[in-house]
Amino acid sequence: MSKIFQHLVSSAVPVPIENIDTDQIIPARFLKATTRDGFGENLFRDWRFEADNTPKADFVLNNPIYSGKILVAGKNFGCGSSREHAAWAIADYGFKVVVSSFFADIFKNNALNNFILPVQVSEDFLDKIFKAIENDPKAAIEVDLENQFIKINATGEQEKFDINPYKKTCLLNGYDDIDYLLSLRSEIETYEASRPFNF
Amino acid sequence: MGKTLFDKIWDGHIVMSKPGYPDAVYINTHFIHEVTSPQAFDGLRKRDIPVFRPGKTRATADHNVPTMDQHLPIKEALSRHQVEMLTKNTAEFGVELYGLGHPYQGIVHVIGPELGITLPGMTIVCGDSHTSTHGAFGAVAFGIGTSEVEQVLATQCILQYKPKRMKIEVNGTLKNGVLSKDIILYIISKISASGATGYFVEYAGEAIRSLSMEARMTICNMSIEMGARGGMIAPDETTFAYIKGREFAPQGEAWDKALAFWQTLYSDADAQFDVVLNFDAADIEPQITYGTNPGMGMGITQHIPALSQLDEKEVPSFKKSLDYMDLQPGAPLLGKKIDYVFIGSCTNSRIEDLRLVADFVKGKQKAEDVVVWIVPGSKQVEAQAKAEGIDKVLMEAGFQLREPGCSACLGMNEDKVPAGMYCISTSNRNFEGRQGPNARTFLASPLTAAAAAITGRVTDVRELV
């Protein structure tokens, strides 16, 4: 897992479905591993494969026309279970960015903690990206974290996106939350000593 | 200006708050289970650090355990390995484990409250989105990912941006046959599966106040199904009476001191919420879902929406969902034949749920071609059910009473609904494949599920009581 994200130009893989929950991203029966590796092969398992493991030809990940490091999905992406395995599966498959018009909270945190950038765009801009990919499956999309914009290179259309400054710093530099929290040790102990209750 | 209950607790747990950074929030109780913790313990090993406050984390095995023959070794190798890793990790890092065979074992969100570990005013996290259940006690409780589990193990703190606040008031009186599960399914159907994303919800109003603790837990449990970071209910006499005398609850002087604090845990009259929603309990029928997210629900006598009732943009996802369910837009669900009934999960597997079901089915027989699984939430619930003779009533009705675990809620163990089959389930998610590949789920209350078990069809329980 690369611990840095700064800038990317890539074609994108479209999954224009709303409310994609983490059970679709990685079904529960694949959560039995005790490491973070290898979840990519089961990403979107039941949309991607028949029960007998033959690929479903109509699913986008099985269509060689589409490839790239950007996943573009309908609104409310990543709802449901808190399983971080969903973020691991997306990262392990090779995606660096997920674009949607709306993300579920826990998924967003999990993605950021795995150096995957969730880019939230307007409904309009999401439609434009889907159209750009429809016109040209290899359409290049540029994502610039430092300047917080996403751009459809063919048309030059772009939109700014939000990210909180702390997480931006983490991604640009490869810092993680535990490094920061461990640096607060004495503040944590001071807080504990100030608590009126033992719980 | 006054403060909301959520703000009182959150603000009281801030270790560090500085501009541009998320808050470092102190966590009072951390629950872990076998599925989302192994990678977090590995992270500690890689950094060569211990669990910072091992006494504040409790572990159980629930997601991936069989619900038959729990006294025997787990047959499936990967599941066995995962449960063994939990045993190894908790032993190595000094965390208390209520594993298989322990009298306290059970679904993590059932055992915390029943053991008196879950208390008002606490911050509680767990690597499971249904951690919101504990909010029923007036705690700030929410689900986290495994990287965050590692943060809490390492520092007893978590980095979080403070969510916005939403109040959902339900006033009026519930109709007969309508349970707390129906209240929350109704709310989610009205505001959608993402209607509360970014918010922490406080449930209030007389219809909520009148509920038992177990019924309140069902409501808070499903907060995540509308996207909320968590859900909570201010503690009151019902809460205090439930906690008193439980295994790990404060006692004697400590109880008096705690109680005095808990009595300050309410939203002040002039507290500001970012959003306030109001519902009338009298409008709520027994609910059922028809689609593949919990927001796709309706009153049991209603019809699935017709395509003409939808926003054009919603149509493709809606059609995909109904195709999966093999249902038609505009059709009713009443009378629809079902194959499986699952009564269990952190939403509805507590003793009150089993009592309700037993009272209803006493002297009745399940429909011949329906498989009925009853999975108690914990060893303690199971023992209580046996002590009350509930086990006999259920077995005489033809139901299978299994051993505690998450079971067919997520189909991680062998309790899977076969492809193409319809299951009426008291759990919390009707996602595609949730209960097994190509399984089809109707979410409903324990009473509605029990009614379907008897008739073999989607049934309005009010016609049978």
B146 in the same domain as B49: yes
Give the count of Cβ contacts less than 8 A between chain A and B: 185
Token pair, residue A64, equals 């060689």
B253 in the same domain as B150: yes
Q: Which residue of A has its CA nearest to B156?
A: A188
- Show which of residues 73-132 on chain A sit within 8 Å of chain B, judged by CB atoms: 74-76, 79-85, 87, 102, 104-106, 109-110, 113-114
Q: What is the DSSP string of A45-67?
A: HHHHB-TTS-B-TTSGGG-TT--
B261 closest CB neighbour out of A16, A51, A197 = A197
Asked if residue B423 belongs to a known ligand binding site, the reply is: no
Domain limits at B11? 5-162+237-260
The domain that contains B169 carries what CATH number?
A: 3.40.1060.10
Q: How far is B126 from chain A (nearest CA, A)?
A: 9
Q: What is the pLDDT of residues A47-95, one digit of tens each?
A: 999 999 999 999 999 999 999 999 999 999 999 999 999 999 999 999 9
Question: Is residue A197 very low, low, confident or very high in pLDDT (cuts 50, 70, 90)?
Answer: confident
User: What pLDDT sits at residue A198?
Assistant: 62
Burial A126-140 (b: 16+ CB within 10 A, else e): bebbbebbeeebebb
* pLDDT of B422 over the 70 cut: yes
CA distance linking residue B275 with residue B133, whole number of Å: 21
ipTM over the 0.85 cut-off: yes
User: What pLDDT sits at residue B465?
Assistant: 79
B111 in the same domain as B12: yes
A182 within some domain: no
| CB within 8 Å: A17 and B320 | yes
pTM, rounded to two decimals: 0.97
Beta strands in B290-412 (DSSP E): 297-299, 340-343, 371-374, 400-401
B415 in the same domain as B329: yes
Beta bridge partners of A55: A49
- Alpha helices for B274-378 (secondary structure H): 315-325, 351-361
Asked if the C-beta of A48 comes within 8 angstroms of chain B's C-beta atoms, the answer is no
Asked if the C-beta of B28 comes within 8 angstroms of chain A's C-beta atoms, the answer is yes
* pLDDT of A13 over the 90 cut: yes
User: What pLDDT sits at residue B1?
Assistant: 86
B431 in the same domain as B299: yes
A180 within some domain: no
B157 in the same domain as B111: yes
| CB within 8 Å: A34 and B293 | no
B227 closest CB neighbour out of A74, A79, A110 = A79
Please give the average per-residue pLDDT across B202-216, as a whole number: 98
B241 in the same domain as B121: yes
One-letter amino acid at B84 equals: E
| CB within 8 Å: A114 and B147 | yes
- Reported for B88-93, long-range contacts at CB under 8 A and 24+ positions apart, including other chains, are B89/B37, B89/B38, B89/B41, B90/B59, B92/B41, B93/B41, B93/B44, B93/B50, B93/B51, B93/B54, B93/B153
Average model confidence (pLDDT) across chain B? 97
Asked if residue B346 belongs to a known ligand binding site, the reply is: yes
- Alpha helices for B192-294 (secondary structure H): 206-209, 213-221, 237-243, 252-262
Please give the average per-residue pLDDT across A146-152, as a whole number: 98
B384 in the same domain as B451: yes
B20 in the same domain as B120: yes
B172 in the same domain as B128: no
User: What pLDDT sits at residue A179?
Assistant: 92
Asked if the C-beta of B70 comes within 8 angstroms of chain A's C-beta atoms, the answer is no
A18 within some domain: yes
Q: Which residue of A has its CA nearest to B257?
A: A197
Question: Is residue A1 very low, low, confident or very high in pLDDT (cuts 50, 70, 90)?
Answer: low
Q: How many domains does chain B have?
A: 3
Question: Is residue B411 very low, low, confident or very high in pLDDT (cuts 50, 70, 90)?
Answer: very high
Question: Is residue B313 very low, low, confident or very high in pLDDT (cuts 50, 70, 90)?
Answer: confident
Asked if the C-beta of B119 comes within 8 angstroms of chain A's C-beta atoms, the answer is yes
**Dihedral pair phi/psi, residue A55, rounded to 5°:** -65, 145
Domain boundary among the residues B250, B283, B316 is at B283
The DSSP element (H or E) to which B158 belongs, if any, is strand B157-160
User: What pLDDT sits at residue A3?
Assistant: 83
B172 in the same domain as B119: no
Domain limits at A34? 7-163
One-letter amino acid at B17 equals: S
Q: Which residue of B has its CA nearest to A83?
A: B145
Asked if the C-beta of B172 comes within 8 angstroms of chain A's C-beta atoms, the answer is no
Q: What is the pLDDT of residues B15-65, one digit of tens each?
A: 999 998 999 999 999 999 999 999 999 999 999 999 999 999 999 999 999
Q: Which of A46, A84, A134 to mutate to test the interface with B (most CBs of B within 10 A)?
A: A84
Share of chain A above pLDDT 70, in %: 98
Q: What is the pLDDT of residues B84-99, one digit of tens each?
A: 999 999 999 999 999 9
CA distances from B455 to B179, B339, B380, B452, B459 (A): 20, 11, 30, 5, 7
Asked if the C-beta of A32 comes within 8 angstroms of chain B's C-beta atoms, the answer is yes
User: What pLDDT sits at residue B82?
Assistant: 97
Residue (of B185, B179, B187, B251) closest to B211 by Cα position: B179
Q: What is the pLDDT of residues A100-140, one digit of tens each?
A: 999 999 999 999 999 999 999 999 999 999 999 999 999 99
The answer to whether the beta carbons of residues B24 and A159 sit under 8 Å apart is no
Instruction: Find all residues with CB under 8 Å of A190, minimum gap 6, and list them.
Output: none
Burial B426-437 (b: 16+ CB within 10 A, else e): bbbbbbbbbbbb
Burial B205-216 (b: 16+ CB within 10 A, else e): bebbeebebbbb
Q: How far is B258 from chain A (nearest CA, A)?
A: 8
The answer to whether the beta carbons of residues B65 and B100 sit under 8 Å apart is yes
User: What pLDDT sits at residue A84?
Assistant: 97
Q: How many domains does chain A have?
A: 1
* pLDDT of B5 over the 80 cut: yes
Question: Is residue A39 very low, low, confident or very high in pLDDT (cuts 50, 70, 90)?
Answer: very high
Please give the average per-residue pLDDT across B401-414, as a whole number: 96
Asked if the C-beta of B254 comes within 8 angstroms of chain A's C-beta atoms, the answer is yes
B127 in the same domain as B174: no
Sheet of B57-60: strand order equals B96-98, B57-60, B29-32, B123-126, B140-143
Please give the average per-residue pLDDT across B98-105, as a whole number: 97
* pLDDT of A194 over the 90 cut: yes
The answer to whether the beta carbons of residues A65 and A5 sit under 8 Å apart is no
Q: Is A64 exposed, middle or buried (0-12, 13-18, 19+ CB in 10 A)?
A: exposed
**Chain A partners of B154 at a C-beta cutoff of 8 Å?**
178, 181-182
The domain that contains B106 carries what CATH number?
A: 3.30.499.10
The domain that contains A57 carries what CATH number?
A: 3.20.19.10
CA distance linking residue B113 with residue B119, whole number of Å: 8
